[in-house]
Chain A
């Protein structure tokens, strides 16, 4: 332990004053907030913090990424798999601007992050100094909150506020920009006090019992009630409360891709995935139900399809922690503001115990149609080229639904979300709202750091993999165990699918070539294999899963295969196409 560290440690206990640098105060604060892992990349303007970090190696594990975008996606993966706040370091200028995609992704998917960026000396602000960029104004639209620190005295309180804002209410990314002078400045450190209240910020709206009663009355009178659930259930850590509500009310429940895993895939009341490439039943039945109960979801356009033809026949009950979500896209007849961990038990207490056997059977009938028309061929094509679905299905057989599945964006993502089994919460890590290609590989690294006892499988397309493949270097250096499965169809598949269906097969710049992925992995000392034949798939997957350490498996899949069902853009959910 260095002197500074020893001094800081004593202070935290006794609250007497000692001089420490802003950088030391920052690291002490991170430790006090329970941070164990930082994803980052050093540079000029953040050097004092990295210098301090040198003495904190035992308490704070720093993972050196290969690009700041990789760093922030890793932070997201960590937050999503662990439920903790992801912490990311980057330097000023290009370091900070490289965070923007990840911030936008975390903002739209409500992922709690605290990002620390270095900034030029305060006296140089606005002078176009080397690596100076206006990080605060660039990141304002994509952060829940951000703040520029120019004086070390502010650091403990600002960091406390940052963590509180990032994880409370509807979570989101927070960025603190710290000028170099503040990092170096010695100040009287009085220890770290976590933040519990900000007067202008109400993370949770008050629960209004009259609306709970109204919601329960609607549910109890419903003949065809239908539950839609989203990530709010996971973020509110309300999986148990949600399960109790679903089971008592006996209402069929369908999920958004970020809500996957809130109840297990095999639960008898789990009727599947919503949205553009979701299951047949949930989409069609949205326009047949009489009461729609939306829980912790925000009616994204990929879920609703055409809004003016969305569930018009139904009374809508909307449970959400964010008041701005109520009536934003779909008008709620009964708004239930609040944390669903609090509102769900209140609702469960008032709903009658029921089984909607007939109504549930309707869902199962649609399932049968989908099974026969789509799923069967997708999962067991028997001959011809391999499909993405059969690869995911084979993986299910081996992982039994216990692995954390991280995906990138595109066809493989929809297939993975549709067919992967999720036994437990926080096991589907995907870029939902922003649809960020390149998310998969770095997010998988972070997800593994956030849940080290779990198998993490990254399912990535040949296009997305090439956007952030530099993070193979992070895997190599950190020695983390991530299973990478590239589903290679030699196309930017989702765009190609749209070009086929809506642009008369004018395949404009979707034909993408790839390097030898296995050799590429090998150059990073990562084992790998390429599989083109169906009979080799099972053994290859087993080898990947049993391999000690990271492994890259490239699977050659059908070149021009489409993801169905599909709700074409501008169509109603009940106009879902099976082919």
Chain B
């Protein structure tokens, strides 16, 4: 990682925070201001449904020390409509970002090397029109960044990249994480999911 030197100097590193919340208007703001109040920049933020109906999952990427991240996680978890918060280093997660690249079709057609490069990067064409072609690539930041560099000479018209989405690794690692949480946190993990499948029986609005 490019910031490895920095990590050694100030103890900061990339953390992916996973937040399970109710699907409510305003919860994004409640979570976002916990960062902005402390002048901490959110590198990327994704919100999507989770594996459980009506429960949303946030993935928030920040660059901070573990001590700060732990405090942030507790402040987030304190919000009434937040069910649970986890934070992980890159080693603990599988993550991807998706990028879209719009390139003029004529250059693509003329220059075979482009097609080869795209294949090398595992990109695929989403749309092919007379005037332009849109490619999609999925991977880590460095990989999608590299493809920008490569496409730039061929007249890259437009580029966009999604936020990081992350899955916390295998059950073994996940349990280890949970035990760590239990050590510093009073909650027994069963509690958090106790009511998840009984939404009709619990207070909800």
Q: List the interface of chain A (C-beta within 8 A of B).
A: 136-137, 140-141, 144-148, 154, 157-158, 161, 165, 195-202, 205-208, 322-324, 326-328, 335, 337-338
- Whether B203 pairs with A198 at a CB distance below 8 angstroms is yes
- Whether B81 pairs with A200 at a CB distance below 8 angstroms is yes
Can you identify 12 A-B contacts, CB atoms within 8 angstroms? A144-B80, A161-B205, A198-B80, A198-B203, A201-B80, A202-B187, A206-B186, A323-B74, A323-B186, A326-B184, A328-B71, A337-B186
- Whether B78 pairs with A323 at a CB distance below 8 angstroms is yes
Q: Which residues of B contact A200 (CB under 8 A)?
A: 21-22, 80-83
How far does the alpha carbon of A323 sit from the alpha carbon of B33 in the complex, in Å?
19
- Whether A199 pairs with B33 at a CB distance below 8 angstroms is no
* Residues of B in contact, count (CB < 8 Å): 31
How far does the alpha carbon of A136 sit from the alpha carbon of B77 in the complex, in Å?
20
- Whether B187 pairs with A205 at a CB distance below 8 angstroms is yes
- Whether B184 pairs with A141 at a CB distance below 8 angstroms is no
Q: Of the candidates B22, B74, B195, which one forms a contact with A324 in the assembled complex, judged by CB atoms under 8 Å apart? A: B74
Q: Which residues of B contact A338 (CB under 8 A)?
A: 186
How far does the alpha carbon of A328 sit from the alpha carbon of B21 in the complex, in Å?
23
Q: Is B75 an interface residue (CB 8 A)?
A: yes
How far does the alpha carbon of A202 sit from the alpha carbon of B77 in the complex, in Å?
10
Q: Which residues of B contact A201 (CB under 8 A)?
A: 80-81
Q: List the interface of chain B (C-beta within 8 A of A).
A: 21-22, 25-26, 29-30, 33, 37, 70-71, 74-75, 77-78, 80-83, 184-188, 191, 195-196, 199, 202-205
A331 — nearest CB in chain B belongs to which residue?
B67
- Whether A196 pairs with B186 at a CB distance below 8 angstroms is no
- Whether B83 pairs with A199 at a CB distance below 8 angstroms is yes
How far does the alpha carbon of A236 sit from the alpha carbon of B30 in the complex, in Å?
27
How far does the alpha carbon of A154 sit from the alpha carbon of B205 in the complex, in Å?
8
- Whether A197 pairs with B203 at a CB distance below 8 angstroms is yes
Which of A196, A323, A338 is most buried by chain B, counting CB atoms within 10 A of its CB? A323
Taking A158-B205, A323-B77, A326-B184 as known contacts, 19 extra A-B pairs with beta carbons closer than 8 A to each other, sorted by chain A number, are A137-B29, A140-B26, A145-B81, A148-B25, A157-B205, A196-B203, A198-B80, A199-B83, A199-B196, A200-B80, A200-B82, A202-B187, A206-B188, A323-B78, A324-B74, A324-B77, A327-B70, A327-B184, A335-B184
Q: Which residues of A contact B83 (CB under 8 A)?
A: 199-200
A-B contact count (CB 8 A): 75
How far does the alpha carbon of A570 sit from the alpha carbon of B13 in the complex, in Å?
30
B22 — nearest CB in chain A belongs to which residue?
A200
Q: Of the candidates B29, B185, B202, B205, which one forms a contact with A323 in the assembled complex, judged by CB atoms under 8 Å apart? A: B185
Q: Which 7 A-B pairs have the closest CB atoms?
A: A205-B186, A337-B186, A324-B74, A199-B195, A145-B80, A157-B205, A200-B83
Q: Which residues of B contact A195 (CB under 8 A)?
A: 203
Q: Which residues of A contact B196 (CB under 8 A)?
A: 199
How far does the alpha carbon of A402 sit from the alpha carbon of B83 in the complex, in Å?
44
How far does the alpha carbon of A326 sit from the alpha carbon of B83 in the complex, in Å?
19
A207 — nearest CB in chain B belongs to which residue?
B186
Q: Which residues of A contact B186 (CB under 8 A)?
A: 205-208, 323, 337-338
- Whether B187 pairs with A324 at a CB distance below 8 angstroms is no
Q: Which residues of B contact A161 (CB under 8 A)?
A: 203, 205
- Whether B71 pairs with A324 at a CB distance below 8 angstroms is yes
If A324-B77, A337-B186 touch, whether A202 touches B191 (CB-CB below 8 Å) is yes
Q: Which residues of A contact B205 (CB under 8 A)?
A: 154, 157-158, 161
Which of A145, A157, A158, A198 is most buried by chain B, counting CB atoms within 10 A of its CB? A198
Q: Which residues of A contact B81 (CB under 8 A)?
A: 145, 200-201
How far does the alpha carbon of A208 sit from the alpha carbon of B203 in the complex, in Å?
27
CB distance from A520 to the nearest CB of B (A): 40
- Whether B74 pairs with A141 at a CB distance below 8 angstroms is no
- Whether A141 pairs with B80 at a CB distance below 8 angstroms is no
Q: Which residues of B contact A324 (CB under 8 A)?
A: 71, 74-75, 77-78
Q: Which residues of B contact A206 (CB under 8 A)?
A: 186-188, 191
A145 — nearest CB in chain B belongs to which residue?
B80
Q: Which residues of B contact A327 (CB under 8 A)?
A: 70-71, 184
How far does the alpha carbon of A147 sit from the alpha carbon of B33 in the complex, in Å?
17
Q: Which residues of B contact A328 (CB under 8 A)?
A: 71, 74
A201 — nearest CB in chain B belongs to which residue?
B80
- Whether B184 pairs with A136 at a CB distance below 8 angstroms is no
Q: Which residues of B contact A335 (CB under 8 A)?
A: 184
- Whether B204 pairs with A199 at a CB distance below 8 angstroms is yes
CB distance from A10 to the nearest CB of B (A): 25
Q: Which residues of B contact A165 (CB under 8 A)?
A: 80
- Whether B29 pairs with A199 at a CB distance below 8 angstroms is no
B33 — nearest CB in chain A belongs to which residue?
A141
- Whether A140 pairs with B203 at a CB distance below 8 angstroms is no
B195 — nearest CB in chain A belongs to which residue?
A199
